[in-house]
Amino acid sequence: MHLKSLELSGFKSFAKKANLTFTSSITGIVGPNGSGKSNVAEAFRFVLGEQSIKSLRGKRGEDMIWNGGGADAGRAGRASVKLVFDNTRKLFPGIDFDEVSIERVVNRDNSNEYLLNGTAVRLRDVVELLSAAHIGATGHHIISQGEADRILSASIRERREIIEDALGLKVYQWKKLESLRKLERTEENMKQVESLRREIAPHIRFLKKQVEKIEKAQEMRRDLVDIYRGYFAAESAYISAEKERLHREIAAPRKELGELDHELERAKSVLTAAKGKDHKSGLVVDLEGRLSAVRIEKDAVTLDIGRLEGEANANRRAIDKEKDKQKRDEFKTVYLKDLEEVVSSIESFHSLDDAKKLFHEIVSALKAFISKHRGTNDSAFIGEAEKEIESLNNQKAAKEAKQKSLSEAEAKLVKEYEELKAAIDKEKDTNRDAEKDVFRIIARQNEVRSIVTNLNNSIAALAHEEDAMKRELGEAANIAGREAVDYAAHGAVHRDRQAQEAQRHQIEKLKIRIEDAGAGGGTEVMKEYRETEERDAFLARELEDLARAKDELHKLIAGLDARIDYEFKSGIVKINQQFGEFFSLMFGGGKAELFVVREPKRRKKSDTEDLAEALSGADGEAPAEDDEDGPEGIEVNVSLPRKKVKSLMMLSGGERALTSIALLFAISQVNPPPFVILDETDAALDEANSKKYGDMIENLSKNSQLILITHNRETMSRAGVIYGVTMGSDGASKLLSIAFEDAVKVAK
């Protein structure tokens, strides 16, 4: 036996605490009309979580509370019903206690409380607990007064629900509902994750482009470093080789020049000694003196010209560089957004009356835009450099003029010297040896000096190139980093000057492209790209997980569906066996069976909506016009003995009651509920049928505890314990345990 006791307190007509203990497998409840018997049956439904107040004969929860009767019996503040189960046989498998009490309280503010063994719980907990114990929410095992044929008058869908409930399939339905809800949440989550991914996709694309740019710039920088290293290695090898060569080459002529000076001094001193005696010797010394003065000056001027040329070249290079930079600005990309700003600023000029003024304003706005976006170009620099070149050229021209006049003076002196030489040569005088020496020395000096001058010029030019390289090294370190100037690692490179010049151009081009790539803030962008990508990958993984979870839920639901379907159909077969037997027992023949039909399709609802509605016991939608395949329902087929009646509609009241009872008992036989409450189900039975009913009840009580509210003597006689309900003048119901004989009297 599962039911232990029922305690009512302030519930409906039970003003005072009333307690029913169920010590027998059949408990009868008897009493006069209106004494409160049905209130007891309703107390069961109430405590088991009934949500339809209407079905408890009330409008609001408040109607469940004792509302006062006579003058001295005041209203109660709350109604409570407590049902106590014996759990020693683990009727509630999840609960370890030997006794389980479920209590429901309704307050005057219509709020409800549920208590499980004294601890507050949610309604849902109660419902799930009960469904696990095969005490279903459809209340198929609590038949209220006048509801005996509820199962016959129910829609085919409600019938299916009652039978599913009775077969204990609600547990699976709850699991299915839970899975459907999870599925909905999963799908919702998937949508959210997908939308998040959609949101960040353009950002990732943008960042990716930036990163590609940065990587391209980094690659270009690496290329630049390589080219720089080769370039510097070649340049440095060239400069040191040239330096070495020039110094080597200049050594001999320099030495010779020194020696020639000595020789000349010696020859001159001979001539000076003979000066007084020889007019021509004086001329030679004098001529030599003037010639060497002119040549020294000419050498200096030549060196100056070389220097001026070098400076002019450096200026030219700087101008070229600046011009390259400016040329780039002509193809500079500007943001459309910026241009739109200019347009809107132009649109704000409303002085249309003065077209000329407007035109100027537009032009100056556009000019301001261009100069804002042009790089910091130093046009003044070009002007200055050009001026500088001009001045250098002027100086050079002066020097060249000077050089020319010196050359002319030199030529004149050389001519003089040639004439003097010829004259001296003619004299064939042995004393003229010294003069001849002077002439020879001077001639040789002339040759050697020009060699030395040329070499000096080359040395000076090389020094310029060395300076230029130093500047380039500084620049390279700035633009491409220190490794760009680490050319020693590159090894010696020998390259002709033309190839080196080509490299220099290559370097300039690369520098410009790197600058254009504008790879500033690279690490930030890279970091953001990496992070955003990681987030996206995380979301993708999450999406996969969710898709897997969705798949699993689909499988789970399909499994539950299959299980429900199988259990349901095999349950129907079993019920039909019992139903047929009970039916022919009641009617002395005939046939009755349940069969599964498809309900016409209704408004499209989600599976979750549908199932949640079914589980909560809410009313379904009315069938729609189109009758495609809808959910399955249960139809009842009866065939009475000796009658042609086939439709339920055509049964008499008694026949309906008998058919319902047969069906209810059949259902209860297949999957016996812990208890069954029958409120005057036997009201319509005649004596013969009351007897059969009594037999069936006894049979049923083997597996389920029965609580029978009845006026029927036969039924009463089958009860082990009988409670009498009476109502005093205060309108409050009272309970008392009575003997069968008294019960017969009380019932009347």
Residue ranges that bind ligand ATP, judged by CB under 6 A: 12-13, 31, 33-39, 63, 65-67, 145, 731
Residue with tokens 């189109």: 626
Q: Which is nearer to ligand ATP, 44 or 66 (CB)?
A: 66
Shortest Å, Cβ 709 to ligand ATP: 7
Return the structure tokens found at 309: 């040329």
CA distance 675 to 559: 30
One-letter amino acid of 587: F
CB contact set of 538 (below 8 Å; sequence gap of 6+) = none
Q: Which is nearer to ligand ATP, 365 or 727 (CB)?
A: 727
Shortest Å, Cβ 192 to ligand ATP: 49
Residue with tokens 């599962």: 2
CA distance 74 to 67: 7
Shortest Å, Cβ 152 to ligand ATP: 21
Question: Cα separations (Å) of 518 from 126, 413, 528?
Answer: 69, 66, 17
Question: Cα separations (Å) of 701 from 188, 677, 708?
Answer: 49, 11, 11
Q: Which is nearer to ligand ATP, 145 or 584 (CB)?
A: 145
Residue of 331, 333, 95 lying closest to 213 (CA atoms): 333
Q: Are 120 and 97 in contact (CB under 8 A)?
A: no
C-alpha dihedral sign at 156, 162, 167, 171: positive
CB contact set of 305 (below 8 Å; sequence gap of 6+) = 396, 399, 400, 403
Q: Which is nearer to ligand ATP, 20 or 227 (CB)?
A: 20
SS3 332: coil
Residue of 470, 555, 567, 654 lying closest to 170 (CA atoms): 567
Q: Are 671 and 166 in contact (CB under 8 A)?
A: yes
Q: Which is nearer to ligand ATP, 631 or 731 (CB)?
A: 731
Q: Which is nearer to ligand ATP, 67 or 717 (CB)?
A: 67
Q: Which is nearer to ligand ATP, 623 or 731 (CB)?
A: 731
Half-sphere exposure of 329 (CA within 13 A, CB side): 15
Shortest Å, Cβ 636 to ligand ATP: 27
Alpha-helical regions (H) of 60-169 = 123-132, 150-153, 156-166
Return the structure tokens found at 394: 């002027």
CB contact set of 354 (below 8 Å; sequence gap of 6+) = none
Q: Which is nearer to ligand ATP, 32 or 481 (CB)?
A: 32
Shortest Å, Cβ 39 to ligand ATP: 4
Q: By 3-state DSSP, what share of the chain in percent is helix, strand and coil, each rounded to 5?
A: 65, 10, 25
Sheet holding 78-86, edge to edge: 18-21, 3-9, 78-86, 99-107, 112-116, 119-121
Q: Are 682 and 146 in contact (CB under 8 A)?
A: no
Q: Which is nearer to ligand ATP, 145 or 393 (CB)?
A: 145
Shortest Å, Cβ 144 to ligand ATP: 10
State phi, psi for 673 to the nearest 5 degrees: -75, 160
Shortest Å, Cβ 29 to ligand ATP: 9
Q: Which is nearer to ligand ATP, 73 or 366 (CB)?
A: 73
Shortest Å, Cβ 135 to ligand ATP: 22
Shortest Å, Cβ 602 to ligand ATP: 36
Shortest Å, Cβ 58 to ligand ATP: 7
Q: Which is nearer to ligand ATP, 63 or 400 (CB)?
A: 63
Shortest Å, Cβ 728 to ligand ATP: 11
Return the structure tokens found at 525: 């962008």
One-letter amino acid of 55: S
Expressed in angstroms, the distance from the first to the final Cα of the chain is 30
Q: Which is nearer to ligand ATP, 173 or 712 (CB)?
A: 712
Q: Which is nearer to ligand ATP, 76 or 130 (CB)?
A: 76
Return the structure tokens found at 122: 């949610």
Shortest Å, Cβ 677 to ligand ATP: 12
Shortest Å, Cβ 688 to ligand ATP: 23
SS3 137: coil
DSSP 13: T
Q: Which is nearer to ligand ATP, 39 or 712 (CB)?
A: 39
Shortest Å, Cβ 564 to ligand ATP: 37
Return the structure tokens found at 213: 């740019």
Sheet holding 705-709, edge to edge: 142-143, 675-679, 705-709, 26-30, 721-727, 733-738
